[in-house]
Amino acid sequence: MKRSEPFHSVRRAPIAAENHVPRRLQTFLQDLEVTESSEEVWELIVDLGTSLRLPCIDFISANDYHDWTCAQFIRTSYDASWLHQFNDDPALYRWSYFRSHGMSCLTPITVGIEFLDEYHQLPEARVNVLREAARRGIRAGFSIPLRQYAPAQSALMTFAGDLSRSELLEVIRTDGWTLNAGALAAHQRYLLHFAQEFPDRNSITPKQQELLELIGGGLLDKQIAELLDISVSAVRQRLNALLQKTGMNNRVELATLAMSLGVLPHPLSRPERDARTLVGEDVYVPPRPLKPRVMETDQG
């Protein structure tokens, strides 16, 4: 559903202490605060890139980069259908910036044909992909690696356009902070809405959502049947329907899904002790002394 009023009409007034960051970044983050859907987050991302002459946005997220053929979602602000023929070749697909940099690194990088001499040595077929991208108005870009929960889950957001090397470097100099911080915040906000929208995308009924929560809580079929005052057979029928709708294979995967949707707290996010005991504590942990570095020399 598209917002009925523009973002600026519901944007809150910042306090003075917030006014020390670039105005473009501050406005972008304030607008993110009031988004109500993943589509609205995407709209803001595209608007940010367009305002900096980088209208070609790629946003890819993978749940598990050990299986690099599996993506959670891929979004582009331009017609990327011409890339399909290249992506069908695994030897070329592995050289995408997401798989060759975003999966294992945290540093933003410049991308595109304008920065070919600064990247890994690429096979000629992959260079041809960059040449075709340049022909289509994607000569240079700025890619920001992202993380979701743990290193095994990763994403990459790229802002690109028909800019020369010097033009893109000027954008990075003036607005690189905005692009980097904006991408990090937008990624988290997008995933929040994306998870909340899962039931609607998969037409999961309220009863099935209730079952998902109970399964996520570790209850067995008999316990669920007693709690819902239905037969074990009815529980299993709902369970099978839920598996089909979600694409999950078993109860363990459903429990993981429940955690991802926020139905259950993530086990690693649970406090190890009562949070009240932290109030007023003053704990000083002295830094560990640095070990002297041994410089290697050529004795030959």
On average, the pLDDT of the chain sits at: 84
Query: Could you give the percent of the chain with pLDDT greater than 90?
Result: 50
183: CATH:
3.30.450.80
pLDDT value of residue 186: 97
Which pLDDT value is given to residue 1? Answer: 52
Number of domains in the chain: 2
137 and 206, same domain (yes or no): no
By percentage, how much of the chain surpasses pLDDT 70? 81
Query: Is there a single domain that holds both residue 239 and residue 99?
Result: no
The verdict on 216 and 247 lying in the same domain is yes
Domain boundary among 165, 196, 227: 196
Whether the per-residue pLDDT at 282 is higher than 60: the answer is no
Task: Please check whether residues 113 and 262 belong to one and the same domain.
Answer: no
Domain contains 241:
yes
Give the CATH number of the domain where residue 226 resides: 1.10.10.10
- Asked whether residue 279 is domain-assigned, the answer is no
* 280 domain residue, yes or no: no
The letter for the amino acid at 132 is E
The verdict on 69 and 111 lying in the same domain is yes
pLDDT of 279 reads 46
Question: Of the candidates 135, 164, 196, which is a domain's last residue?
Answer: 196
Residues 157 and 261 in one domain: no
Query: Quick check: is 38 in a domain?
Result: yes
Whether residue 97 sits in one domain with residue 30: yes
> Does residue 273 form part of some domain?
no
Residue 47 lies in a domain: yes
pLDDT-wise least confident of 2-6, 57-61, 143-147, 278-282: 278-282
Whether 296 is covered by a domain: the verdict is: no
* 252 within domain boundaries: yes
Supply the range of the domain harboring residue 216. Answer: 202-266
Looking at the structure, tell me whether residues 63 and 210 fall in a common domain.
no
If asked whether residues 94 and 139 sit together in one domain, one would say yes
